[in-house]
Amino acid sequence: MITVLGRELRGYFRSPMGWVIAAAVLFIDGLLFNGFAVGSGKRLSSEVVRDFFYFSSGTTMIAGLLLSMRLFAEELQVGTQVLLRTAPLSDWSIILGKFLAAFAYLALITLATLPMILLVDLHGQLGTGHLVAGYTGLLLIAAASVAIGTLASSVADNQVVAAILGAAILVSLLLCWLLARITEPPISDLLSHLSFFDKHFTAFMEGEIRTPDVAYYFSVTWVCLLITSGVQRMRRWR
């Protein structure tokens, strides 16, 4: 697993696409932070921090899909999947190595936004608990998004299809809150609990870490990686 992780992580730092995604996330987050948080008149520090985590969650989800779309689909495109499958590595070692590399790279990008949010402390009072909760939520949503992208990449034959499939899965989970409003219990309750953002990320934005929300993102991550393992076993025996 460590070998795969190191190989994939080095690939992100050597790839122009990795740097483009990092630059785009930081630029968009900085632009939105300046426009909607710092530059929108006098506001409470907690409101500024909450809004930052709100729009940063969106860029994190998109970046997670873009970073993970290459994990398996690129192997198929360049023809290295045979070498990977014949290597003395288990499917889980390969999957976890690739997943952790993409997640680690996205985590670095996410934590690189910390200086932006610390600017709030210059003109207000920044709550440490709010900061910890918000970044915990961002890292959890990053892990789940990368896992969704990893699953999509394992199914698709190229990176474009992987990105589209990953986006379709993510959007479906994001829209669960809307479907919950137009359906009746118990279906509405189930859809509400499946909601990727509205049901589970709001508490992190407000500075609260709740066990059910943490468990939800861990569950999404685990289920996606578990399905990816099944897909890889099927591909191995074709």
Other C-beta atoms lying within 10 Å of the C-beta of residue 115: 9
Q: List, for the chain, all residue ranges whose pLDDT scores fall below the cut of 70.
A: 36-43, 78-88, 121-124, 236-238
Q: How far apart are CA 212 and CA 114, in angstroms?
A: 26
pLDDT at 146: 97
pTM: 0.91
* Burial class of residue 223 in the structure, from the number of CB atoms within 10 Å of its CB (0-12 exposed, 13-18 middle, 19+ buried): middle
**115 cis-preceded (ω within 30 degrees of 0):** no
pLDDT at 85: 63
* Burial class of residue 46 in the structure, from the number of CB atoms within 10 Å of its CB (0-12 exposed, 13-18 middle, 19+ buried): middle
pLDDT at 124: 66
pLDDT at 68: 93
- Which residues form the domain of 113? 2-236
SS3 157: coil
Distance of CA 157 to the CA centre of its chain: 22
Q: How far apart are CA 98 and CA 227, in angstroms?
A: 15
For the chain, the domain total comes to 1
Q: How far apart are CA 66 and CA 23, in angstroms?
A: 13
